[in-house]
Amino acid sequence: MKKLIFSLTALFLAACSVRPDSYFVSDGFIQGTTYHIIYKYKTSLSRQINKQLHRFDTSLSAYMAESTISRVNNNQITETDDTLFLNCVRRAFQISELTGGAMDITVSPIVNAWGFGFGNKERVSQQLIDSLKQFCGYQKIRIDGNRIIKSDPRIQLNANCLAQGQSVDFIAEMFERMGINDYMVEIGGEVRAKGINAKGKTWRIGVDKPIDDTTATLNREFQEIVALENKSLSTSGNYHKFFIENGVKYSHTISPFTGYPVQSNLLSASIAGPDCITTDALATACMVLGTERAAQMCDTLPGIDYYFIYSDSTGEFKTVISKGFEAMILK
């Protein structure tokens, strides 16, 4: 009997020592931007999250000299077992095909020339753009197994148009492996959410109003609030990253077709879908395509919904919204 009582007491004490899951917040600065991550777990994972995000940087940050992408750009390596890099480039090529080249990670030399990449801004002319375009085009580079094959060694990659989305997926997938079912991962405005928040509700995410503001978050206003349930959400726009020269506004979205910053009445494109690498890349492509062509493309893609904000001839904000996205908006 004493042995039974002892065993029951031990089981009771062991059960009491199991810490119930709580919501934790991890935030900081990475990839030249901020991150804000909330998750339900038995302990804080801030150290593991930070470690994984820095690992991601060593793969795809063009600002790190020893990252895989920098070493590929500088022709220091032609083969790698870095699966983060290889998966990113393969997915980029798939989305380039899907969008007819509207999203193209080989446009890096032109992005740098405009001062939006990892190089210094140059004095841009049509002659310069023409000279750089010969080194751009996703068809000019391919992956064969672990080998990176360039048609010209001067070809360079810039994964900014989908890498942040991929890093969101990277952390979300770590949570999934750990059995975490309630989380929200946001890195640089790219978001993926699953389950419920600490209030027991579906995660609420704001869609920014497209107000010109290079300080990004200081003067933030929301156009809509959406319920994000087991989805990713990415927004691309011309209202945070831009410069004005001789009275002309130049946005950070560079058209792979012209080599110039996109000039369009489409102010922002928000894309919802199953994974963040896809929504991130498609949001960029939509800004290049413009409102009508972007809507036509998205309507052909299963699981993809959109919310476009554009300005009409009088300068007023107008929207084009898919039915699926409209159902996400909180009234």
The per-residue pLDDT for range 182-202, each reduced to its tens digit, is 999 999 999 999 999 999 999
Mean residue pLDDT across the chain: 87
Measured distance CA(234)–CA(274) in Å, rounded: 11
Q: Are residues 200 and 322 in the same domain?
A: yes
| Amino acid at the residue 114 | W
User: Which tokens hold the place of 51?
Assistant: 């470690």
Residue 9's H or E segment, with its range, is helix 2-17
Residue 218 has pLDDT above 70, yes or no: no
Q: Is residue 55 part of a domain?
A: no
Residue 284's H or E segment, with its range, is helix 276-289
Q: Are residues 139 and 213 in the same domain?
A: no
Q: Is residue 302 part of a domain?
A: yes
| Amino acid at the residue 202 | T
Measured distance CA(178)–CA(292) in Å, rounded: 42
pLDDT band at 156 (very low <50, low <70, confident <90, very high): very high
Residue 137 has pLDDT above 90, yes or no: yes
pLDDT band at 249 (very low <50, low <70, confident <90, very high): very low
Measured distance CA(76)–CA(114) in Å, rounded: 25
Q: What is the pLDDT of residue 85?
A: 97
Q: Are residues 200 and 114 in the same domain?
A: no
Residue 86: closest CA among 65, 72, 75, 76? 72
Which pTM value belongs to this model? 0.87
- Between these two residues, 41 and 122, which has the higher pLDDT value? 41
Please tell me the least confidently modeled range out of 74-83, 90-99, 102-111, 122-131.
Answer: 122-131
- Between these two residues, 243 and 109, which has the higher pLDDT value? 109
Give the SS3 label for residue 296.
helix
Q: Is residue 142 part of a domain?
A: yes
CATH of the domain at 245: 3.10.520.10
Q: Are residues 238 and 117 in the same domain?
A: no
User: Which tokens hold the place of 100?
Assistant: 């007819």
How many domains are there within the chain? 2
Q: Is residue 262 part of a domain?
A: yes
Identify the domain containing residue 94 by its residue range. Answer: 69-150
pLDDT band at 265 (very low <50, low <70, confident <90, very high): confident
Q: Is residue 105 part of a domain?
A: yes
Q: What is the pLDDT of residue 17?
A: 44
User: Which tokens hold the place of 17?
Assistant: 């020592």
